[in-house]
């Protein structure tokens, strides 16, 4: 049984709870391997917020490309962030966008390490 704070002290909130459930049954060696791979793949919510704010400067959708949502990224790019309304919504919901991406990455890494 591994402690999430020991392996990934930088994660917080819902992400921490989700990762804790994933690594709960892993050995320390598996949890270390999980942490190394996951740390490389995860996106920091602050990075998503900064990239969403770039949408107000004229390049909307960059944050969607970063979290592998290519279709939405193209839509935002071609429609100026859905007339900036979508960009504003994403600035407000940046944590959930990052958590959704990080959860997918955590699942993939857990299956790889598992």
Closest by CA position to 108, among listed 56, 41, 63: 41
State the SS3 of 75-103. HHHHCHHHHCHHHHHHHHCHHHHHHHHHH
- The rounded distance, in Å, linking the Cα atoms of 16 and 67 is 19
pLDDT in tens, the chain (114 residues): 468 888 889 999 999 999 999 999 899 999 999 999 999 999 999 999 999 999 988 899 999 999 999 999 999 999 998 899 999 999 999 999 999 999 999 999 999 997
């Amino acid at each position: 049984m591994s402690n999430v704070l020991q392996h990934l002290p930088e994660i917080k909130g819902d992400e921490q709870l989700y990762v804790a459930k994933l690594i709960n049954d892993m050995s320390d060696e598996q949890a270390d391997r999980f942490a190394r791979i996951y740390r490389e793949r995860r996106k920091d919510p602050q990075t998503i917020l900064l990239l969403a704010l770039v949408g107000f400067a004229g390049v909307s959708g960059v944050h969607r490309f970063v979290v592998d949502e290519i279709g939405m990224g193209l839509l935002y790019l071609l429609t100026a962030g859905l007339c900036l309304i979508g960009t504003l919504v994403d600035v407000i919901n940046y944590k959930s966008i990052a958590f959704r991406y990080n959860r997918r990455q955590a699942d993939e890494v857990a299956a790889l390490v598992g």
